[in-house]
Structure 1
Amino acid sequence: MIQTHPVTANNSASLQVAVVGGGIAGSAAALKLAELGANVSLFEAGPSLVNGPPACHLHAGGNLYREISDEQCLKLLEQSINTLRVFPHAVNLRPTVISVPLNDPGEPEALLPRLRKVQAHYANLIQQDPQNQKLGPAKDYYRLYSREQLEALAKREPMQQPQSMDDWMIPVAKYLDLSAFKFPFVQVQEYGLSLLRIAAMVKLASEGLDNCQVFTHTKVTHVELLNGDKPRWRVDYQTEQGSQSTEVDYLINACGYRSGSIDDMAKLSRHRMVEFKAAYLANWPSQNGRWPELIVHGERGTTNGMAQLTPYPDGLFQLHGMTDTITLFKGGLVKSSENSAQPELSPLLTRKLTQGWQSDEVAQRTAEAVKHMSRYLPSFNNAAVAGRPLFGAQQIPGSDPSLRAASVSFDKAHYARTEIVKFSSALSAAEQIIENIAELGLLHGEALGSVMSELPSTQQLGYSQVLELAEQLAEQRNYPLSLAR
């Protein structure tokens, strides 16, 4: 992992940057640039920063996804470690258990070459910098469990405070229908992540930076590259007080699935896809002890699509099922066109994004998610709806829907667009943007490395203040408080 070097804003004329989109990518770039001395205007259409649905998984090695390349997995590992370094209060400390059911054509042994490669890379990162040990010792990155080992663990009682890798496997061994699976199972140190606590950290950090001005409830209506001696961008925006305009030296498009709309304003073409997905919340009264995250591999889009069970405090669980009746939606993956860089979802899915869901569909899809998981975890069948779905749209640059580790691209003069698919890529995108700004002579100092390894404005925050604000954000966004904890 490459360490950063000091960089300062150009002293001859203070650098002015506009960031359109206050998600994790835009917020990370805005915070880092403000720390470097730039004057940053951060525009967010929603009521607060990092508004997306609460993400649940760090993807520290990408083992959820059998279809992605080893290269993407190594990149996700590096990006996840850096996320934990920059946002130290964001981790939900629990492992992930990967399993392959009998109804799946894959074999557990097929995972082993990748696991060994990721483990070796993790060990190398720790050797380079001991601060990179954020997922426990490298030797414990993963462990295999045979059926005999699981049957032995099933005789033990689940624990509220697991102390070992074996302790975490007890509820899995005790309650899963082991006759439905191939062996071995894999426990891997892919932890959980609280996007609500990241949102809290971003808000608190931005409030401590006088040169980072945040505009929420603000819609950018027009961007234009101005003619002159040096490239400048005009940004028009609509606030609750009316229409306003500003000129900046550099423009960052961090609008997530709406990035194409800013590209269209800037008269830039870009091929991308947008995919609508949803996860569901359920209370499970029969759960016992603390659970790891559970992944049951399956073929995407079939009735045997991957099942994912993510634990939170107080018996709350988040559910994914990679089928068209649960997480995926027919017509939910759309492409840009020759006439527009912005893919357009169907009116039905657009209404979900802007106006929310009908209660009967919430009940129906959550029930499908519970039923899907109950095929492998029979006692889960009495789980009940615990809140509104966690839904949103993600952009995927290019035409490969399996892409997971994307970051940033550059176009025209002084223009960058973040293209993250997973939130762990946000810091890498921010670092590449800062490198580009430095290469343009707008920042003085040595060129930065490819990974942002520190963000002082988040390091100084205390856990209690972060948790308190995260719980407030959960309440404001109508989510159970357990999602923040």
Structure 2
Amino acid sequence: MNSHLCQASPQRPLTVGILGGGVAGATTALRLADLGINTLLIEASNGLINGPPICHLHAGGNLYREISDQQCLTLLRQSIDSVRAYPHSINRRPTVIAIPTSDAGDAGALLPRLKQVAHEYQRLVEEDPANKVLGEPEDYYRCYSREQFIALAERPLPKKAISHDDWLVPLAHNLNPDLLKFPLILVQEYGWSLFRMAATATLALQDSPHCRVLLNTRATELEQLSDGWRIHTESDPGQDLPLEQEQRQSHKVDFLVNACGFRTGLVDDMAGYRRQRLVEYKAAYVAHWKTTGDWPEVIFHGPRGTPKGMAQLTPYPNGVFQLHGMTESITLFKNGLVASCSVSAQPQLPLPYQKQLDHGWQTTDIEARTQEAINHMARLLPAFASATVGGKPLFGAQQIPGSDPSLRAADVSFEGAHYARVEIVKASSALTAADRIVARLADLGWLKLDCPPRDDMQTGQAPRLSPQLTITTRHSAKQVETTAVQLANERGYPEALALRMGN
């Protein structure tokens, strides 16, 4: 660990209870268990990190034209930390940002922000060489003129993409430059495998002596005590439970972390806390396309919620692609953004979306919306019209604290001395949230942080713990990939979504 980073150690016997085993809860459990803190992780489903679609490491926030430069810089730092925390989960391939001629935006308008982000990445690498996880800082982004793009179309497909130019050749072979504004921007925003994240957390926590994981179990009641919380739980009677686990149990914890994702409001209601938040229901689609070459991710910007909304093409091995289209017939849903009210902290999604979340999708809906996504992409990439449905959608709901639906960088909030709610919008914010919880435990005197004096260290702020977790480095990339493939099969998704790409 670098000398400028904190170290932490428990000061007394301590148990932290975490409700929710998605990326927020699992990452918090990884951080706490890595510090030797006894952790109880309670998850209602049969596996960890089994929620909304995650496909993209937001290392600079370049998908979002509408968010602030500060949010982009925050997402960059958090993404670097996430790569180091989940070292075997990244698909190392760049992203191409394209502005269609049908869009009112200016391709050059992104350049000032990109310069800021590249400068910050350079600074972070100088601060700690281990932060160089997105390639060389001077190669963070590159612009291509119309002439350069047309010239790439004359090149043969490389056997393996190595240079920036190599990654752009398949796109140049298939995309009409007359449909684009220039420059095209290639940026080192990598892919993120949800299944390898899930495998990393599963392997690490099942081997940790400091974490107990209860799957197929939900909290039914919370009792606030003077020195913590008592969690009453009920396990799914249809599941085979470990011999030591009864169907109904109660658990005393010193500190409670509400990490229930879009259902965070239900736990707030049980705990007696009010909180304003939004919940947005979303889906991404899986297609199979017989193509050649190593593809980058491609983002075609467009006005959100319109028929020409942003189109996102995310590549995986074996011709599998994940699709987003920011229209109400694809990724977004009519009345799919809902807010909490004065009597409950939990926003209520329309009943059809609740049924999909609880019971999955009907085949007709899968085929119809996936075909809509294919057609949306084919507007700009005509050859993609031959793609076919490749599997069921990745779907879920994300919470957004407050009332601003454009917020993307958020982490954690606290109530009293014994309660935290993790409120991440993007997965890359999860480690920051975990570290702020560590800081709160230290403020309470339960944990000792050995930090050098810093003028900017404020109570409750994330301490400068090393983002590299010992607990997630004990398994090899191959072990993680093997487990990820098993999880993809169990959850009914193509194995390609779990396989390493460009590593």
TM-score (norm 2): 0.93
Cα distance, 1:412 vs. partner?
Answer: 2.2
1:274 pairs with 258, 279, 285, which one?
A: 279
Aligned to 2:199: 200
**Cα distance, 1:166 vs structure 2:** 0.6
1:385 to 2:386 alignment? no
Q: Provide, for residues 244-290 of structure 1, a one-character-per-residue CA deviation record: whole Å limited to 9, x for no partner.
A: 101111000000000000000010000000000011111111x1101
- Sequence identity percentage: 52
Q: CA deviation at 1:362?
A: 1.0
Residue of structure 1 equivalent to 2:105: 106
Question: Which residue number in structure 1 is paired with residue 333 of structure 2?
Answer: 329
Q: 2:182 aligns to what SS in structure 1?
A: coil
Residue in structure 2 matched with residue 439 of structure 1 by the alignment: 443
The 8 Å contact of residues 427 and 451 in structure 1, kept in 2 or not, is answered as no
Q: 1:456 aligns with which of 462, 470, 494?
A: 470
Tell me how far 1:449 sits from its aligned partner. 1.9
SS of 1:313's equivalent?
A: coil
List alignment gaps of at least 5 residues for structure 2. Answer: 238-245, 452-461
1:2: Cα distance to partner?
9.9
Tell me the SS of whatever aligns to 1:46. coil
**Corresponding residue SS for 2:437:** helix
Conserved 8 A contact 2:7-2:465:
no
* 8 Å contact from structure 2 (residues 6, 466) kept in 1: no
> Which residue of 2 is the match for residue 253 of structure 1?
258
8 Å contact from structure 1 (residues 100, 298) kept in 2: yes
Change (3 A) 1:54 1:327: closer
Shift of the 2–406 alpha-carbon distance from structure 1 to 2, 3 Å rule, reads: farther
The 3 A distance-change label for structure 1 pair 424 and 451 is farther
Residue 53 of structure 1, CA deviation: 4.1
- 1:235 match: 231
Aligned to 2:115: 116
Which amino acid in 2 is paired with 1:390? L
Seen in structure 2, the aligned counterparts of structure 1 residues 188 and 366 have a Cα distance that, compared at 3 Å, is same
Kept in 2, the 8 Å contact 1:407–1:426? The answer is yes
SS at match of 1:8: strand
Asked if 1 retains the 8 angstrom alpha-carbon contact of 2:307 and 2:327, the reply is yes
8 Å CA contact 1:20–1:253 kept in 2: the answer is yes
Of 156-165 and 415-424, deviating more is 156-165
Instruction: Name the aligned partner's letter for residue 431 of structure 2.
Output: L
Please give the alpha-carbon distance, in whole angstroms, between the structure 1 residues aligned to 2:492 and 2:110: 38
- Hey, what's the Cα distance between the residues in 2 that align with 1:469 and 1:37? 25
Work out whether 1:84 is the aligned partner of 2:83. Answer: yes
Deviation (angstroms), 1:392: 0.5
Q: Is the 8 A contact 2:52 2:397 kept in 1?
A: no
2:175 corresponds to which residue? 176
Q: Could you report, residue by residue, the CA deviation over 1:430-475 in whole angstroms, capped at 9, with x for unpaired residues?
A: 0000000111011123356256512101012101111110000000
Q: Which moved more, 1:35-44 or 1:101-110?
A: 35-44
For 1:442 and 1:236, how far apart are their aligned partners in 2?
24
2:402 to 374, 398, 403: 398
SS in 2 for 1:314: coil
CA drift at 1:367? 0.9
Q: CA 1:3 to 1:171, structure 2 compared with 1: closer, same or farther past 3 Å?
A: farther
The amino acid across from 2:210 in the alignment is N
- Helix, strand or coil for the counterpart of 1:100? strand
Q: Distance in 2 between matches of 1:39 and 1:451?
A: 18
Query: In structure 1, what is the equivalent of residue 11 of structure 2?
Result: 10
Residue in 2 that maps onto 1:471: 485
**Cα-Cα RMSD:** 1.3
Shift of 1:429: 0.4
Residue identity in the other structure for 2:215: T
For 1:310, the equivalent position in structure 2 comes to: 314
Matched, 1:430 2:434: yes
3-state SS in 2 of match to 1:274:
strand
Measure the CA separation in 2 of the matches of 1:2 and 1:371: 53
1:339 aligns with 2:343: yes
Which deviates the most, 116-125 or 233-242? 233-242
Deviations 1:206-239 (A, max 9, x none): 1221120000000111112114xxx211111002
- Partners of 2:400 and 2:254 in 1: how far apart? 27
Mapped partners of 1:3, 1:208: distance in 2 = 29
Match of 2:188 in 1: 189
- Aligned residue in 2 for 1:481: 495
User: 1:130 matched to which residue of 2?
Assistant: 129
CA deviation map 1:287-315 (0-9, x unaligned)? 11010000000000001100000000000
Structure 2: how far apart are the matches of 1:413 and 1:135? 38
In the alignment, is the contact (CA less than 8 A) between 2:6 and 2:465 conserved in 1?
Answer: no
Q: Check whether the contact 1:225–1:234 (CA below 8 A) recurs between aligned residues.
A: yes
Distance 1:42 1:3, change over 3 A: farther
Which piece of structure 1 moves more, 201-210 or 186-195? 201-210
Pairwise CA distance, 1:178: 1.4
Partner letter of residue 467 of structure 1? Answer: E
Tell me which amino acid in the other structure corresponds to 2:377.
M
**Residue 299 of structure 2 aligns with which residue?**
295
* Paired residue secondary structure (2:321): strand
Q: Secondary structure at the match of 2:257?
A: strand
8 Å CA contact retained: 2:417, 2:444: no
Offset of 1:35 from its aligned partner?
2.3
Query: Is this contact kept in 2: 1:280–1:390, CA < 8 A?
Result: yes
Superposed CA offset, 1:31-54 (max 9, x none): 221222221110000001111244
Q: Aligned AA for 1:237?
A: T
How far residue 160 of structure 1 moved from its aligned partner, in angstroms, is 3.8
Equivalent-residue separation in structure 1 for 2:51 and 2:464 (angstroms): 25
- Say if 1:294 and 1:310, in contact at 8 Å, map to a contact too: yes
- Does the Cα contact within 8 Å between 1:82 and 1:451 map onto a contact in 2? no
Larger displacement relative to structure 2 (321-330 or 150-159): 150-159
Secondary structure of residue in 1 paired with 2:397: strand
Tell me which residue corresponds to 1:414. Answer: 418
1:7 aligned partner, one-letter code: A
Distance (Å, rounded) in 2 between the aligned partners of 1:338 and 1:413: 24
Partner-residue secondary structure (3-state), 2:335? coil
Counterpart mapping for 1:342-353 below 5 A: 342-353=346-357
Question: For the residues of structure 1 that align with 2:400 and 2:199, how far apart are their CA atoms?
Answer: 26
CA contact (8 A) 1:19 1:40 kept: yes
Bigger mean CA offset, 109-118 vs 50-59: 50-59
1:317-376 CA-to-partner distances (Å, cap 9, x unmatched) read: 010000011100001000000000000101000011011111111111111111111111
Q: What is the one-letter code of the residue matched to 1:10?
A: Q
Aligned to 1:283: 288
